[in-house]
């Protein structure tokens, strides 16, 4: 009984589960059917939209084809017009060539002349006073049209103006750029087409501006400029026919101090020796000329002996006979020999310096050549400026050695002559006194 009840309960439970599953499948089927209907609706909407876009695209394609057809027709029309215009231009050019004849060649010469004159005008200092002449010339030289009578007259006027102004000296106001870069208005004197002057200085013409040379020519060149500006009469002035090239080289010419600096340490050593030699020469020169003057005064009056000169001391030594055990000749010889070193003192030193200076110059030459060859080894011979330093040292030291040696040799010769002159007077007088004392 219990078993039957259990089986009945299990069968009833299984039937209930089956009924529940069937209900779930029904709901799922309904949902699937509902989703299918929605997707079908969306598909129809997309299909309708696609068909509508297709119609619109066909319409646009049709309109584009119509536009293309119109453009091709217009292009064909324009090409035909271009061909007709080119034929007409060709006919007109042929007609123009026949009518102009040789004028075309003449106008070509005019354009060429305008270009050449423009090159001259751009570099001419006359353009500082007469500005903007180059604009017309540039336009005329590049123009492809036939120049008018007015253009030809203006070209002739500028050409004649340049020739006339190259022979005139004028004063005018113009902006001048100083060495500090500041632009100021100053009175400028123009000497033809060769020189610009202002405030006693030379100017250079660069890019339509007057610029003061950072370094002015030295010596008489600068004084010429100052005198020329101040006077209203005929006056000497320096002009540069190369339009600034020579003047530029003069301004770049190194000064004496710069040349000495190129000699380096050896150059300064040579100058130092020269200074010592000159000082020694001046000192000995003053001494010898003073002694010579005193000796000559004493020579005129031997009755009054003064001990402030060699002759007086020699005469005193001979006439006093303080050393009785010696002969008069020995006393005179000792007195003369005692005075000679004082007269010749320092002369050998000056002579030594005059001999050493050229040798030091030779040393500087060798040093400079070593520097030059080192530069050639490292950089080659492509740029001469790299070798200029060594060559300058080599040449300047040689020059400095000769410049020092020549005056020192001259000083030594003068002092030696003066010393010998005084010594000869003393020796002659000593010999005369010895003979006189022996005859007593």
Spatial contact of 372 and 309, defined as CB atoms under 8 Å apart = no
Spatial contact of 140 and 147, defined as CB atoms under 8 Å apart = yes
pLDDT of residue 134: 84
Average pLDDT over residues 207-211: 82
pLDDT for 310-338, tens place per residue? Answer: 877 887 877 776 555 567 777 777 888 88
Average pLDDT over residues 342-346: 86
CA–chain centroid gap for 368, Å, is 24
- Sequence ranges of the domains in the chain: 167-251, 262-438
Calculate ∠ Cα 65-71-72, nearest 5°. 90
Residue 18 has pLDDT above 80, yes or no: no
**Helix, strand or coil, per DSSP, at residue 180:** coil
Residue 409 has pLDDT above 90, yes or no: yes
Average pLDDT over residues 414-434: 85
| Reported confidence tier of residue 406, pLDDT bands at 50, 70, 90 | very high
| Reported confidence tier of residue 99, pLDDT bands at 50, 70, 90 | low
How far is CA 44 from each of CA 37, 41, 310, 399, 420, rounded to the nearest angstrom? 11, 5, 149, 112, 143
Who's near 178: CB < 8 A, 6+ residues apart? 184, 212
pLDDT for 129-180, tens place per residue? Answer: 888 888 888 888 888 777 888 888 998 898 898 888 888 888 888 888 887 7
The full length of the chain comes to 440
Which H helix or E strand runs over 396? Answer: helix 385-438
How far is CA 292 from each of CA 103, 301, 312, 335, rounded to the nearest angstrom? 95, 15, 12, 17
The better pLDDT of the pair 15, 241 is held by 241
User: Worst-scoring range by mean pLDDT, 147-156, 243-252, 317-326, 357-366?
Assistant: 317-326
Residue 196 has pLDDT above 90, yes or no: no
Which of 139, 123, 117 is CA-nearest to residue 208? 123
What's the pTM? 0.54
Please tell me the distance from the alpha carbon of residue 408 to that of residue 358, in angstroms, as a whole number. 11
């Amino acid at each position: 009984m219990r078993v039957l009840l259990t089986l009945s309960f299990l069968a009833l439970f299984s039937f209930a589960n089956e009924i529940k599953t069937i209900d779930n499948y029904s709901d799922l089927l309904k949902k699937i059917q509902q989703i299918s209907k929605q997707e079908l609706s969306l598909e129809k909407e997309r299909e309708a939209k696609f068909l509508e876009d297709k119609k619109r695209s066909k319409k646009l394609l049709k309109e584009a084809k119509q536009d293309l057809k119109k453009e091709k027709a217009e292009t064909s029309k324009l090409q035909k017009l271009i061909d007709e215009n080119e034929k007409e231009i060709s006919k007109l050019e042929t007609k123009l060539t026949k009518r102009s004849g040789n004028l075309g060649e003449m106008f070509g010469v005019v354009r060429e002349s305008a270009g050449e004159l423009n090159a001259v005008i751009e570099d001419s200092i006359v353009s500082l006073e007469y500005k903007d002449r180059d604009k017309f010339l540039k336009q005329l030289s590049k123009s492809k049209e036939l120049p008018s009578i007015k253009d030809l007259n203006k070209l002739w006027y500028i050409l004649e103006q340049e020739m006339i102004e190259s022979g005139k000296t004028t004063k005018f106001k113009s902006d001048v750029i100083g060495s500090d870069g500041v632009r100021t208005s100053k009175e400028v004197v123009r000497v033809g087409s060769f020189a610009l002057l202002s405030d006693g200085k030379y100017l250079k013409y660069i890019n339509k501006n007057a610029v003061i040379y950072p370094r002015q020519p030295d010596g008489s060149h600068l004084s010429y400029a100052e005198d020329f500006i101040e006077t209203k009469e005929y006056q000497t002035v320096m002009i540069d026919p190369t339009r600034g090239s020579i003047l530029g080289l003069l301004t770049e010419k190194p000064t004496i101090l710069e040349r000495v600096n190129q000699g380096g340490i050896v150059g300064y050593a040579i100058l130092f020796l020269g200074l010592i030699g000159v000082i020694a020469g001046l000192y000995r020169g003053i001494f010898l000329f003073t002694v010579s003057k005193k000796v000559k005064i004493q020579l005129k009056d031997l009755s009054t002996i003064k001990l402030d000169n060699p002759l007086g001391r020699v005469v005193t030594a001979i006439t006093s006979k303080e050393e009785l055990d010696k002969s008069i000749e020995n006393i005179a010889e000792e007195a003369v020999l005692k005075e000679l070193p004082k007269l010749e003192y320092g002369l050998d030193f000056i002579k030594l310096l005059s001999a050493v200076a050229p040798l030091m110059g030779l040393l500087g030459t060798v040093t400079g050549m070593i520097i030059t060859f080192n530069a050639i080894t490292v950089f080659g011979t492509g740029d001469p400026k790299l070798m200029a330093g060594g060559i300058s040292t080599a040449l300047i030291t040689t020059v400095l050695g000769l410049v020092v040696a020549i005056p020192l040799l001259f000083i030594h010769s003068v002092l030696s002559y003066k010393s010998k002159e005084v010594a000869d007077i003393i020796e002659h007088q000593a010999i005369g006194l010895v003979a006189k004392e022996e005859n007593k």
